[in-house]
């Protein structure tokens, strides 16, 4: 899915050829073409370890495990990103419905969608429904003490 809405310049900008060389075909389809992995197939859907979730394309820290919750929707769910400046939210009216797409602010890779008002009882009443294939996970014991600058 190609989008025409304008985004601010991405701190990490690469050509399609560079992204294709760095990502698997499945990763490219989701991260760069706004695809979606099948529900209940991602490696982090049922992950309950303590740690950090990063953008698979650029490594930016996006979510922490203490913000993850079991929504039973088939994809990892978070009630908030690490910080609002780590993601971009934009309107997505594809597929005949209104949704809000979530992108990595550092490289503009597609992560998933955010939904509000579903009644999960989380502190924000939001569900960031994120594709596992858009993320990498670091156990807390192996994660660095501080996150590098998002555009590093």
Q: Which residues belong to the active site? A: 129
Distance CA(143)–CA(127), nearest Å, equals: 25
Q: Please, are residues 75 and 112 in contact by the beta-carbon 8 Å criterion?
A: yes
For residues 134 and 59, give the distance between their C-alpha atoms in angstroms, rounded to a whole number.
Answer: 10
Q: Which two tokens stand for residue 41?
A: 């197939």
> Which tokens sit at 1?
């899915």
**Paired tokens of 145:** 């003490």
């Amino acid at each position: 899915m190609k989008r025409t809405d304008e985004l601010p310049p991405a701190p990490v900008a690469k050509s399609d050829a560079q992204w294709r060389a760095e990502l698997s075909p499945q990763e490219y389809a989701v991260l760069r073409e706004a695809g979606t992995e099948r529900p209940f197939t991602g490696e982090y859907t049922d992950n309950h370890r303590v740690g950090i979730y990063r953008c698979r394309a650029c490594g930016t820290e996006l979510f922490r495990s203490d913000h993850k919750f079991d929504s039973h929707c088939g994809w990892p769910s978070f009630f908030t990103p690490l910080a609002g400046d780590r993601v971009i939210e934009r309107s997505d009216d594809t597929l005949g419905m209104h949704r809000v797409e979530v992108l990595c602010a550092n490289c503009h890779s597609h992560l998933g969608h955010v939904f509000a008002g579903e009644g999960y009882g989380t502190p924000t009443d939001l569900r960031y429904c994120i594709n596992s294939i858009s993320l990498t996970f670091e156990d807390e014991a192996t994660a660095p003490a501080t996150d590098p600058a998002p555009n590093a």
